[in-house]
A and B are shown apart, each in its own frame.
Chain A
Amino acid sequence: MIELKGLHKSYITGNNKLHVLKGLDLTIEQGELVSVMGSSGSGKSTLLNVLGILDSYDEGFYKLNNTLMDNLSEKKAAQYRNNMLGFVFQSFNLISFKNAVENVALPLYYQGVNRKKRNMIALDYLDRMGLKEWADHMPNELSGGQKQRVAIARAMISKPKVILADEPTGALDSKTSLEVMDLFREINSSGITVIIVTHEKDISEQTDRIIHIKDGIIGSEFTSKN
């Protein structure tokens, strides 16, 4: 599903060049549940952004579903993000002026699905997250855990192949974190590839494969087949 080979990425700020990813190789098959760990500043988010076609890379290649992701027009990139990928962020990133169901329905709006239909589908996803009664609430009326579940519903609604989550439990307490992880596992069991960046060991332990980034490459890997 995901294939990275010799991936390099540097940030240039003024005269300084910060080499973050230094020839990283990584293959993730369809249906895997993977966590990415590493010390702060090691490049986990950078890697995830490249995978999400939110950012570009300098060298090597990135194939998503056997298609080379390089030099895409912004329009094409938007289409891949819409069809193939779902994002879950640490800070939820819900749209403040839209209620829960409208937030969830947004990716379908970009696909041109009519309002009635997409809101119906969105409500169904919210129901699966146990948030049906909260459908009409605005994001600022929801708790952190609820917001993250709305965000997960939104990531899932376009039936993506891959869900990318950057510290999705970073802003949640441990009980809520476990609930969110249960959701990810459930999503994964339906065949969707899930990649989670995390600092927390008890989060990564719930994934099938743990990738450590160190010095800009994959340092060590741990696979637990259960």
Chain B
Amino acid sequence: MFDKEKWQEIFSSLKNNKMRTTLTIFGVFWGIFMLIVMLGFGMGFKSMMQEGFGDFATNSLLIWPQQTTKAYKGFPRDRSYMFTNEDVQLIREKFPEIEFIAPKLRAFGIEGANNATRGTKTGAFSVEGTFPEYNLIDPSKITHGRFVNNVDIKEYKKVAVIGKHVKDVLFEEDENPLGEYIKINGIYFKVVGVLTKGASNISLGSDKDRSIVIPLTTFQKVYNRGNEVGFCAVTAVKEANIALVQQKINIFLRRRHSIAPDDDQAVGGFNLAKEFKKFFNMINSVVILIWIVGAATLLAGVIGVSNIMLVVVRERTKEIGIQRALGATPFKIMNNIITEAIFLTASSGYVGIVIGVGVIELVKKIANSSGSDNPFFTHAGVNLNVALMALLILVVFGALAGFIPAKRAINIKPIDALRDD
């Protein structure tokens, strides 16, 4: 591999025709450069998309009661109904493929009226009753204290987790809200935590920063909602098909609430998994497209190398003849030519990789220093595996590019090669 005789030959033939060598090298360089840059920004694109989803549970589903659209069992159409605690309980017990189910109830300050006060400070916020599991499906970031827990639920505790904005309105800047009391619709609640928007850009309903979360059971009691539940967030275990789970739950709920079996409107639902999947499919097709375009560009470069090697072999026919007269085996001749092709592709490709990565890093640096938080730029990047893979492809392509010319070189009889002028 590293013997001077061989490299002397390679470099002399490259040096003899600098322009040709440069153009050939540029072809491969450009192919791999494009591939790397596109993949790098493809990655930025991907994380831009993914950042939107954050840590939201992807295999999840939202359901809520809507008005019925069909008369059934003596009930008229357009009937309103609510889910109940028992529904939630039964669904949880009945369907093992469900990981979490978290019901939620919500009340607003009526027509924007202030519903939360503390001393002289007051504000209008969304008040939500929910289960601890809710924070596993649509996670908020708990900056102080804790979220609602099972003891709160069981003992109807009057505790509240307040949004960041709520805290800013009801508390002084340097005040510790934990353990303090606030009044919600005239009832005292102890603040046990502060939360803010989680990593996900998906927002279900109200702004988390402007909401107050209390235990569902407490909510039902305080607001006189009996055992009513508004909407439920459901996540299924990884292997489960969430669409199927949705169907089963719908059938179950229709039966329990005397809804016509073919009334598709009565139970509202939103399959997040489906949406996620659409998105990821789109991202993947973009990545595949990038590989196809990149590989095609690269292939064009490699074909250039192969062509140039054919020319080199033609030019060197006589020298190859001399070498064979002196005892060079066909293997040695082929080895030389293939090494040369690999060297051409791999070295120019390596430069392409380095410069491609450099360009991406530069863009990233500029984006970061200009304070951009657009992940398309800040998260652009090429991981090492992709770079190594590209290099491997180059070596393989290089070998292929050298193979045909090498084969041609040794198919000439030594005497014909020697006679060549």
B residues in contact with A49, CB < 8 Å: 415
A residues in contact with B362, CB < 8 Å: none
A219 to chain B, nearest CB (A): 24
Is A128 interfacial (CB-CB < 8 Å)? no
Is A120 interfacial (CB-CB < 8 Å)? no
**Nearest residue in B to A77 (C-beta to C-beta)?**
B414
Which residue of B5, B326, B410 is within 8 Å of A102 (Cβ)? Answer: B5
B residues in contact with A82, CB < 8 Å: 326-327
Which residue of B323, B413, B415 is within 8 Å of A106 (Cβ)? Answer: B323
Which residue of A74, A81, A96, A115 is within 8 Å of B326 (Cβ)? Answer: A81
Which residue of B5, B319, B414 is within 8 Å of A109 (Cβ)? Answer: B5
B residues in contact with A158, CB < 8 Å: 327
In the complex the two chains form, is A110's CB within 8 Å of B326's CB?
A: yes
Is A179 interfacial (CB-CB < 8 Å)? no
In the complex the two chains form, is B325's CB within 8 Å of A110's CB?
A: no
**Nearest residue in B to A107 (C-beta to C-beta)?**
B326
Assess A75 versus B326: contact at CB under 8 Å? Given A54-B414, A102-B5.
no
- A57-72: CB near B (< 8 Å → 1, else 0) gives 0000000000000000
Is B370 interfacial (CB-CB < 8 Å)? no
Please measure, in the bound complex, the distance between the C-alpha atom of A78 and the C-alpha atom of B326, giving whole angstroms. Answer: 8
In the complex the two chains form, is A78's CB within 8 Å of B418's CB?
A: no
* CB interface residues, A 95-118, toward B, < 8 Å: 95-98, 102, 106-107, 109-111, 115
Is A154 interfacial (CB-CB < 8 Å)? yes
* CB interface residues, A 126-179, toward B, < 8 Å: 154, 158
In the complex the two chains form, is A111's CB within 8 Å of B325's CB?
A: no
Is B293 interfacial (CB-CB < 8 Å)? no
What total of A-B pairs shows CB separation below 8 Å?
69
B residues in contact with A216, CB < 8 Å: none
**Nearest residue in B to A157 (C-beta to C-beta)?**
B326
A residues in contact with B319, CB < 8 Å: 95-96
Please measure, in the bound complex, the distance between the C-alpha atom of A68 and the C-alpha atom of B5, giving whole angstroms. Answer: 33
In the complex the two chains form, is A115's CB within 8 Å of B5's CB?
A: yes
For B324, B326, B331, which residue has the most chain A Cβ atoms within 10 angstroms? B326
In the complex the two chains form, is B325's CB within 8 Å of A87's CB?
A: yes
Is A200 interfacial (CB-CB < 8 Å)? no
Q: List 8 A-B contacts (CB under 8 A).
A: A75-B329, A78-B327, A78-B330, A79-B327, A89-B418, A102-B5, A106-B5, A110-B328
Is A27 interfacial (CB-CB < 8 Å)? no
Please measure, in the bound complex, the distance between the C-alpha atom of A75 and the C-alpha atom of B330, giving whole angstroms. Answer: 6
A residues in contact with B332, CB < 8 Å: 110
* CB interface residues, B 171-218, toward A, < 8 Å: none
Is A52 interfacial (CB-CB < 8 Å)? yes
Is B86 interfacial (CB-CB < 8 Å)? no
B residues in contact with A89, CB < 8 Å: 418
A175 to chain B, nearest CB (A): 27
A178 to chain B, nearest CB (A): 26
B residues in contact with A39, CB < 8 Å: none
Which residue of B3, B322, B410 is within 8 Å of A95 (Cβ)? Answer: B322
A49 to chain B, nearest CB (A): 5
**Nearest residue in B to A93 (C-beta to C-beta)?**
B322
Is A42 interfacial (CB-CB < 8 Å)? no
Please measure, in the bound complex, the distance between the C-alpha atom of A158 and the C-alpha atom of B324, giving whole angstroms. Answer: 14
Is A83 interfacial (CB-CB < 8 Å)? yes
In the complex the two chains form, is B5's CB within 8 Å of A55's CB?
A: no
In the complex the two chains form, is B8's CB within 8 Å of A98's CB?
A: yes
In the complex the two chains form, is A55's CB within 8 Å of B415's CB?
A: yes
Please measure, in the bound complex, the distance between the C-alpha atom of A213 and the C-alpha atom of B331, giving whole angstroms. Answer: 37
In the complex the two chains form, is A78's CB within 8 Å of B329's CB?
A: yes
A117 to chain B, nearest CB (A): 13
B275 to chain A, nearest CB (A): 64
In the complex the two chains form, is B327's CB within 8 Å of A111's CB?
A: yes
Is B51 interfacial (CB-CB < 8 Å)? no
A residues in contact with B327, CB < 8 Å: 78-79, 81-83, 107, 110-111, 158
* CB interface residues, B 305-336, toward A, < 8 Å: 318-319, 322-332
A119 to chain B, nearest CB (A): 10
For B318, B328, B329, which residue has the most chain A Cβ atoms within 10 angstroms? B329
Is B373 interfacial (CB-CB < 8 Å)? no
Extra 13 A-B pairs, beta carbons < 8 Å, given A49-B415, A115-B5: A54-B413, A54-B414, A81-B325, A83-B327, A87-B326, A93-B318, A96-B319, A97-B8, A102-B8, A106-B323, A109-B3, A110-B323, A110-B328
In the complex the two chains form, is A78's CB within 8 Å of B324's CB?
A: yes
A residues in contact with B5, CB < 8 Å: 102, 106, 109, 115
Please measure, in the bound complex, the distance between the C-alpha atom of A77 and the C-alpha atom of B410, giving whole angstroms. Answer: 13
In the complex the two chains form, is B325's CB within 8 Å of A52's CB?
A: yes
Please measure, in the bound complex, the distance between the C-alpha atom of A111 and the C-alpha atom of B328, giving whole angstroms. Answer: 9
Please measure, in the bound complex, the distance between the C-alpha atom of A52 and the C-alpha atom of B322, giving whole angstroms. Answer: 12
In the complex the two chains form, is B413's CB within 8 Å of A55's CB?
A: yes
**Nearest residue in A to B328 (C-beta to C-beta)?**
A110
B residues in contact with A102, CB < 8 Å: 5, 8
B residues in contact with A81, CB < 8 Å: 324-327
In the complex the two chains form, is A115's CB within 8 Å of B3's CB?
A: yes
Please measure, in the bound complex, the distance between the C-alpha atom of A77 and the C-alpha atom of B324, giving whole angstroms. Answer: 9
A residues in contact with B410, CB < 8 Å: 74
- B13-41: CB near A (< 8 Å → 1, else 0) gives 00000000000000000000000000000
